Structure 1
Amino acid sequence: MTPEEAGQRLVALLASVEATATVSGGQAHARATVDVPPQAWRAALLAARDDTELACDFFDWLSAVDELAEGFDVVAHLWSTTHRHGLLLRARVPRATPTIDSVVAVYPGAAWHERETHEMFGIDFAGHDDLRPLLLPPEFEGHPLRKEFVLASRVAKPWPGAKEPGESEAGGGRRPIRPPGVPAPGEWGTTPTPAGAGGAGEGPRGGTPARPARERPARPAPGARTPEPDEGSTP
C-alpha cells in the first residue's frame, strides 16, 4: 500500500468526520499524513490499529508542535509490522484549552509519550490518570518546549554561537544574531556583560574579575650579550 493509499484508506474509515490526507517526506521516507479534528483523535488511532488493510499494530512515538497563535499540533506515528508502512496522524488543539483524548487504552506504549508531551507543552490528555513529571523536577515551572518559554541559562551565560567567525571583541563584521530562546534586550531581566577593565559587568552578578597582566622582561637585541649577574645574587 502506497502512502497515498494508506492516507485515503484512513480518511474513508473516518467518513463521519472531516479528515484530510497528504504525504510528508519523500522517496523511501514518504509517509501518509492524516489531519483529524481533536474529537476524532482516539477514533482515528483505533481505526488505524484495527483495520486489516492498515493494521498499524506498532506505536512508534507521540509528541507536539507549537504553532503559536494557531495552537498545538499533537502528532503520532504508527507502523504496520505486517504491511511495512507508516502512518502519521495530527490533530490541532487550541492554545487556550490544549486538551485531547488519551490513547493509552489503544496503545499502552503511549503512556510515557503523553506524560512527556504534557510536561513539555502543557497539553492535557483526558483519561490519562498519571500525568506526573517524567523528565523535570516537580518544582519546575513552565513548559520548556513552548516557543514563548525563556531559556534563562542563555541569558545568564554567554552563548558560544553568539559570535560569527572573524568577529573581534571590539565589534565589526556582521551584526550578531540573538541565539534561540534569548529575549531581546529590555524584554526580560538583565543580561550580564563581560567584565571590563575593572572587572565589573552589568547585571546582578557582575562580571568576572580581569586577570592581571604579567610583565615580561624585554628581549635582548640580536647579538647583544646577557649581562653577568652580580656577586652574591641568585641567578
Structure 2
Amino acid sequence: MSSDALEALTAAGIAATQSDSFSPTAIDVPAESWVAAHEVLRDAVGYTFFDFLSAADELTDGFRVVSHLADFWGGAHVEHLLVRTLIPRDKAVLPTLSELYAGANWHERETFEMFGISFEGHPNLIPLLLPDGFEGNPLRKEFVLASRVARPWPGAKEPGESDHAPAHGAPSRRRTLPPGVPDPETWGPRPPGSPDPDPLAPAQAAATPARPRRAGADRRTRKQAEAPPPQAPPADAPSAEAPPAEPEG
C-alpha cells in the first residue's frame, strides 16, 4: 500500500519521496503540496483515518511537520503511513488539513501553541492546552527551560550515584545544562525585545559546590597515617615453610 501511495502522488504531479528506514513508512512532500498530497492519499489510495499531527524542531533545517494516517482494509489489517514536510523557521506556515480531516483541528491548535506554526484557513486557531497569558512556544529548542534552571538536570549523574556516595567512589559526571538553558549565574528575566538564547549554543557546565568529605573517610585516612610501618622478621627466626613429608614405608 505504501508503494501505491507513492505512485498515486507521483501520478498527481507531487514530488514525493519514500523512506522505509523506520516503521511505519514515511513519505516526504513539499510544503506547497501539503494539502494536495493528503487529498490524494485520502481519495485515491484510501487513507481515510487521521490519527495525529505534530512537529519537530530541526533547528537550522526548520520545522518538520508530521501527520499519521491509516487505512483499514482486509478485516483487522491496518496500513499506517506518515506524511512529512519541512518548513523554514522564519516562515512557519502551512495550510490547514481541517477541511479534509476534521480530526486535524485540535492537533493543529496544539502544534500552533507548542511550536508557533500557523495553519492558514484554520477555523479557530487559538491555544488549546496552555493557560491564558502564557508567552512563548515551549517545544521550540530556543525556549528557556526555567524548571531545569531551578532543579538539577536529571542527566547529571550515572544511575546509582548520589551526593552521599563514598569518598573513594568514582566521581559523578559534571552537572550540565541542556540546550536552551542559560548559565545559572546570568539567568534571569530578560528585558523586552532581547534576543532568545541560541538553540545551537553548547551546554554550559553548571557551577556546583565541592562535595564535602565524610567524617569516616577522614578518620580512616588519619589512622592509616598514624599506623607504624611493617617490620621485617629477624634473620634467625624459624622458617614458616611446612615440614617435609615423611617417606612412605
TM-score, structure 1 normalization: 0.70
Structure 1 unaligned regions, length at least 5: 198-235
Instruction: State whether residues 23 and 31 of structure 1, in contact with CA within 8 Å, keep that contact through their aligned partners in structure 2.
Output: yes
Give distance in 2, aligned partners of 1:43 and 1:127.
15
| Secondary structure of 1:135's aligned partner | coil
Q: 1:59 to 1:173 in 2, by over 3 A?
A: same
Which among 67, 88, 101 is matched to residue 58 of structure 2?
Answer: 67
Alignment of 1:50 onto 2:50:
no
Which among 32, 35, 55 is matched to residue 39 of structure 1?
Answer: 32
Aligned 1:214-229 pairs, distance under 5 A: none
Give distance in 1, aligned partners of 2:102 and 2:10.
26
Structure 2 counterpart of 1:166, one-letter code? E
Aligned 1:25-174 pairs, distance under 5 A: 25=22, 30-51=23-44, 54-82=45-73, 84-164=78-158, 165-166=160-161, 168=163, 173-174=171-172
Instruction: State whether residues 156 and 172 of structure 2, in contact with CA within 8 Å, keep that contact through their aligned partners in structure 1.
Output: no
Structure 1 counterpart of 2:135, one-letter code? E
Instruction: State whether residues 52 and 67 of structure 2, in contact with CA within 8 Å, keep that contact through their aligned partners in structure 1.
Output: yes
Structure 1 counterpart of 2:18, one-letter code? A
Cα deviation code 1:169-205 (max 9, x no counterpart) = 68961432525356252685168978x99xxxxxxxx
Shift in Å, 1:138: 1.9
Q: Which has the higher helix share?
A: 2
Give distance in 2, aligned partners of 1:177 and 1:188.
17
| Secondary structure of 2:142's aligned partner | coil
Match of 1:183 in 2: 181
Give distance in 1, aligned partners of 2:125 and 2:177.
32
How many pairs does the alignment contain?
Answer: 187
Q: 1:125 to 1:116 in 2, by over 3 A?
A: same
Q: 1:14 to 1:177 in 2, by over 3 A?
A: farther
Give distance in 2, aligned partners of 1:97 and 1:74.
13
Q: Percent identity?
A: 45
Shift in Å, 1:37: 0.8
| Secondary structure of 2:20's aligned partner | strand
Match of 2:17 in 1: 20
| Secondary structure of 2:89's aligned partner | coil
| Secondary structure of 1:80's aligned partner | strand
Give distance in 1, aligned partners of 2:8 and 2:185.
46
Q: 1:148 to 1:10 in 2, by over 3 A?
A: farther
Shift in Å, 1:115: 0.2
Instruction: State whether residues 63 and 92 of structure 2, in contact with CA within 8 Å, keep that contact through their aligned partners in structure 1.
Output: yes
Match of 1:209 in 2: none
Structure 2 unaligned regions, length at least 5: 189-205, 213-249
Give distance in 2, aligned partners of 1:39 and 1:187.
45
| Secondary structure of 1:96's aligned partner | helix
Higher alpha-carbon Rg: 2
Give distance in 1, aligned partners of 2:16 and 2:185.
41
Instruction: State whether residues 149 and 181 of structure 1, in contact with CA within 8 Å, keep that contact through their aligned partners in structure 2.
Output: no
Match of 2:238 in 1: none
Shift in Å, 1:93: 0.7
